[in-house]
Amino acid sequence: GDSVTQMQGQVTLSEDDFLFINCTYSTTWYPTLFWYVQYPGEGPQLLLKVTTANNKGISRGFEATYDKGTTSFHLQKASVQESDSAVYYCVLGEGNMGYKLTFGTGTSLLVDP
C-alpha cells in the first residue's frame, strides 16, 4: 500500500532561519501530495497541495515541490517566524482513491524568538 516517511521528528530554529523538511513516498498511482500544519489545540489544516512533479505550491511564504525520480517531496521557507511553530505533516493522496490520505508522522517545528 501507499506510504509516507517523514524522518525529521523535531526541528528547532531561530527566527529568520531557513526551513527545509523532507519526506519520501511510495505509491503505485499518480500522487497528489499535501502539507498540513497543526497548531496547538487545533486540528490539522491544509497548508499546500502539489499535484504536478517539479511544480511549486506556494502559500503563506512556504513552498513545496516533489520529485518523481527520487519519490521525495519537501517543504521550505526562507525565513521562519515564531508564529510558524507547529507540527507539519506530509500527506499522500492515493491516485485512484483521492478521498483517502496517508499521513506522515509529523515534524514538530519550534522557532525560538
CB-nearer residue toward other proteins: 61 or 98: 98
Residues 6+ away with beta carbon under 8 Å from 95: 27, 28, 29, 30, 31, 32
Q: How far is the CB of 46 from other proteins (least distance, A)?
A: 5
**Residue 98 grid cell:** 483521492
CB of 15 to other proteins, least distance (A): 26
Q: Quick one: which of 90, 80, 86 has its CA closest to 22?
A: 90
40 lies in the site for other proteins, by CB under 8 A: no
Interface residues with other proteins (CB under 8 A) are 6, 32, 36, 41-46, 49, 51, 89, 93, 98-101, 103-106
